[in-house]
Amino acid sequence: MSTKLLSMRDAIARYVFDGASVAIEGFTAFICFAAGHEIIRQRKRDLTLIRMTPDVIYDQMVAAGVARKLVFSYLGNPGVGSLHCIRRAIEQGIPRPLEIEEYSHFGMIGRYVAGAARLPFYPLHSYTGSDLPKVNPHIRFVQSPYGEEKVAVVPPLNPDVTIVHAQRADIAGNTQLWGLLGVQKEAAFAARQVIVVVEEIVDEAAIRSDPNRTLIPGLIVNAVVHEPFGAHPSYVQGYYDRDNPFYLKWDEISRDGQRVSDWLDEWVYGVADRAEYARKLGAATLQRLKPGEAWSQPVNYGAYR
Amino acid sequence: MNAQATSFTASEMMIVTAARALAGAHTVFVGVGLPNIACNLARRTVVPDLELIYEAGAYGASPARLPLSIGDPALVSGSIAVMSQADLFSFYLQGGRVEVGFLGGAQIDRYGNLNTTVISDYTTPSVRLPGSGGACEIAIHAQRLLYIMRLSKRAFVERLDFTTSPGYLSGGDARRRLNMPGGGPHRVITDKALFDFETPTREMRLASLYPGVSVEEVLAHIGWPIARAETLQVNEPPTDEELRCIREELDPLGLYRL
């Protein structure tokens, strides 16, 4: 099996180009901050950032000036409040104007599904009576070919690059993920290039021992990055908890442009890579985020010879 | 209701009223913030069998701690099912399996239409709000909608700056004419009073008051001349057990009790 292992630095340098559309997905869970920070460090520009919930990672990336456009469905700091850097960009054009393209959650999900299946659109029952179609001409209504019924449609979404964080993969990129699946599978299949970032590299035999847990096959994966704690301050089910105090702290930091710059200098530009970031976080923080254990009961796939 | 506690906050009354509004429900689509704590309180009090559905992809969640966000890892461990969001939105929500949807927002109008997108103009907003998330679909598909919002003239407005999620639209049977499968707004739970939509025009109506709140105090916070029920009941204050659940189990840090 040929290896797709790359360092984060090499993976971002190779696959994320200026002007690219990039989806770093993960619904509260599995958000690959390590990739976002490397994109900032490499000073990529004019990216179209795609995420259902831009979260703190895109707040940081927008503040750092990597983005030209944002495609999203919920613009909040989950459980906390606003994303102040993105709000500054939208409301005041700081540090640069940010074009937005906005859907609902189901609309974004449908766009990924259509993108993954290479379909021309995705039909859904939504948007009736909402002003969203008035401000986003991509949201349209069509009549069912089988009756009078009208249904909303959204266009396919095919990011240039999707970056998915997960628990484990083998070196060929066969990736297993458990917990909140979000749109990780759909966003990966929809993409032109896929980078998976994992907490652990495992043998192919480990993958094959539990094939139902494989969300993304190596077939569609271009690069595998081994990056422990790569999702912090987001979380990885069973590995570490969400750093909720940091999300609360970001609410304060992000209100002030200067404090954001200082934070980026210290925690992004000031560290070489995620390993250094994790060392800087320190053992006490990592210990605080360590969950207890809750193992699943094993299932018998059966041996058929 | 059993013995009442001596004192409680407006937020506690709001949470308790929201939890009680879930009595008899089987499934609820749980939103961020106050709905989150209200649904978890309901499971500990009036509806132990209530199945919590989170848009992050969890069905039958049984969080051992109060989830700070709606994507908390505690929603996964011990839940009945965890699935992709495509499955959740297609089969559970659009499939009509969600009984109660919980929503809140920056602005609501008399027909229960909701704005969570912008204040002022869309292209040059004075305040950019979070947007729809799943709210637009929840509003369309849930069999009934509960709103949870603090009363204020900025929130209860004559005209929305933007309609993110449809309530009864222009009133009457406007929803039905657009073939929306869900039943629409059912109650609005605030920090001072409870509202319903039990009118032919589907206009919001003052249904009952919280203990110690006057009608005038409520009307002062609403941006249109609101109708009221013929007889205004007063809601029961929180019980000791409800307050104990909130204060000791669900919100020991007091984040939701202001």
Q: Which residues of A touch B126 (CB under 8 A)?
A: 91
Q: Which helix (H) or strand (E) holds A292?
A: none
Question: Does B4 have pLDDT greater than 70?
Answer: no
Residue B175 is assigned to a structural domain of this protein = yes
Question: Quick one: closest CA in B to A90, which residue?
Answer: B128
Question: Does B206 have pLDDT greater than 70?
Answer: yes
Q: Pick from B84, B127, B130: which is nearest to A183 by CB?
A: B84
**How far is it, in rounded angstroms, from Cα B196 to Cα A26?**
37
Q: Residue A88 has which token pair?
A: 């500054």
Residue B5 is assigned to a structural domain of this protein = no
A150-180: per-residue pLDDT in tens?
999 999 999 999 999 999 999 999 999 999 9
Are the beta carbons of B164 and A74 separated by less than 8 Å?
A: no
* Mutate which: B40, B69, B75, vs A, most A CBs within 10 A: B69
Q: Which residues of B touch A54 (CB under 8 A)?
A: none
A232-287: per-residue pLDDT in tens?
999 999 999 999 999 999 999 999 999 999 999 999 999 999 999 999 999 999 99
Question: Does B5 have pLDDT greater than 60?
Answer: no
Q: Pick from B68, B85, B128: which is nearest to A90 by CB?
A: B128
**How far is it, in rounded angstroms, from Cα A221 to Cα A173?**
6
Question: In the predicted model, what is the mean pLDDT of chain A?
Answer: 97
pTM of the model: 0.96
Longest dimension (CA), chain B: 53
Residue B6's pLDDT is 64
B223-236: per-residue pLDDT in tens?
999 999 999 999 99
Residue B230 is assigned to a structural domain of this protein = yes
Question: Quick one: closest CA in A to B68, which residue?
Answer: A79
Nearest to residue A51, comparing CAs of B12, B71, B221, B49? B71
Amino acid at A192: R
Are the beta carbons of A29 and B131 separated by less than 8 Å?
A: no
Phi first, then psi, for residue B257 (nearest 5°) are -105, 5
Report residue A2's pLDDT band, with 50, 70 and 90 as the boundaries: confident
**How far is it, in rounded angstroms, from Cα A233 to Cα A93?**
27
Q: Which helix (H) or strand (E) holds A33?
A: helix A33-41
Asked if A234 contacts A198 with a C-beta cutoff of 8 angstroms, the reply is no
Q: How many separate domains does chain B show?
A: 1
Say which of B12, B55, B137, B242 is annotated catalytic: B55
For residue A279, the SS3 value is: helix
Are the beta carbons of A82 and B58 separated by less than 8 Å?
A: no
Q: Strands B144-148 and B185-189, how do they pair? A: parallel
Average pLDDT over residues B235-248: 95
On the 0-12 / 13-18 / 19+ scale of CB atoms within 10 A, A167 is buried
Average pLDDT over residues B118-129: 94
What does the angle CA B236 – CA B241 – CA B243 come to, to the nearest 5 degrees? 75
Nearest to residue B83, comparing CAs of A296, A236, A179, A74? A179
Question: Does B15 have pLDDT greater than 70?
Answer: yes
Asked if A197 contacts A34 with a C-beta cutoff of 8 angstroms, the reply is yes
Residue B2's pLDDT is 46
Q: Residue B168 has which token pair?
A: 């009864």
Asked if B56 contacts B240 with a C-beta cutoff of 8 angstroms, the reply is no
Nearest to residue A206, comparing CAs of A167, A155, A243? A167
Phi first, then psi, for residue B84 (nearest 5°) are -65, 155
Residue B119 is assigned to a structural domain of this protein = no
Residue B131 is assigned to a structural domain of this protein = no
Residue B142 is assigned to a structural domain of this protein = yes
Question: Does A34 have pLDDT greater than 90?
Answer: yes
Nearest to residue A165, comparing CAs of A149, A184, A146? A184
Are the beta carbons of B82 and A244 separated by less than 8 Å?
A: no
For B29-60, letters b (16+ CB in 10 Å) and e give bbbbbbbbbbbbbbbbbbbeebbbbbbbbbbe
Residue B62 is assigned to a structural domain of this protein = yes
Query: What is the distance between the terminal CA atoms of chain B, rounded to a whole angstrom?
Result: 24
Q: Which residue range(s) make up the domain with B90?
A: 10-104+137-149+166-250
Are the beta carbons of A29 and B181 separated by less than 8 Å?
A: no
Asked if B79 contacts B61 with a C-beta cutoff of 8 angstroms, the reply is yes
Q: Which helix (H) or strand (E) holds B49?
A: none
For A12-35, letters b (16+ CB in 10 Å) and e give beebbeeebbbbbbbbbbbbbbbb
Average pLDDT over residues B52-57: 95
Nearest to residue B128, comparing CAs of A54, A60, A259? A54
Are the beta carbons of B178 and A103 separated by less than 8 Å?
A: no
In angstroms, the separation between the Cα of residue A29 and the nearest Cα of chain B is 7
A105-116: per-residue pLDDT in tens?
999 999 999 999
Residue A281's pLDDT is 98
Residue B1's pLDDT is 45
Q: Pick from B94, B163, B166: which is nearest to A124 by CB?
A: B94
For residue A240, the SS3 value is: strand
B72-116: per-residue pLDDT in tens?
999 999 999 999 999 999 999 999 999 999 998 999 999 999 999
Q: Where do the domains of chain A lie, and which CATH numbers do they carry? A: 8-103+158-288 (3.40.1080.10)
Amino acid at A191: A
Task: Report the CATH number that the domain containing residue B242 is assigned in CATH.
Answer: 3.40.1080.10
**How far is it, in rounded angstroms, from Cα B188 to Cα B207?**
9
Residue B258's pLDDT is 62
Asked if B206 contacts B228 with a C-beta cutoff of 8 angstroms, the reply is yes
Are the beta carbons of A106 and B178 separated by less than 8 Å?
A: no
Query: In sequence order, what E strands does A155-204 have?
Result: 161-169, 175-176, 193-201
Question: In the predicted model, what is the mean pLDDT of chain B?
Answer: 94
Question: Quick one: closest CA in B to A239, which residue?
Answer: B73
- Regarding an ipTM greater than 0.90, the answer is yes
Asked if B71 contacts A28 with a C-beta cutoff of 8 angstroms, the reply is yes
Question: Catalytic site residue B230?
Answer: no
**How far is it, in rounded angstroms, from Cα A286 to Cα A299?**
31
Residue B3 is assigned to a structural domain of this protein = no
Residue A73 DSSP code: S
Residue B32's pLDDT is 72
- How many residues in total does chain B contain? 258
